[in-house]
Structure 1
């Protein structure tokens, strides 16, 4: 029966890890930038949609009803 040896996991130092993945840094920065821009775009679109929904109210009572509806559901319906 072969003997099993315990191998301690090797942990790289942060500097060594950064050096090994240095070529990925521009891609990570671009991906993070893209995600942030996409998130902002979605937020602006949702805000514009909510504003349009509220602005299309015919009177103050309907506006208040729509505002309560948005507070409870979180989105225009």
Structure 2
């Protein structure tokens, strides 16, 4: 789970996009196994959770690299 905070806006964004990145130590297949899910959006932050499709549980002990973009 990751929380991303911003300080220049006091309202929630209209859209948030989260893109999962492959780390250099991962195979392409492994990188496609974990999926980012937008969990919640507030005026000052959003939460992303990561689902491990190989085990069908949340990826709580899995190192994840990702990028995000928010549009107000």
TM-score (norm 1): 0.24
Q: Kindly indicate whether structure 1 or structure 2 has the higher relative contact order, using CA contacts under 8 Å at least 6 residues apart.
A: 2
Give 1 or 2 for the bigger CA radius of gyration: 1
TM-score (norm 2): 0.25
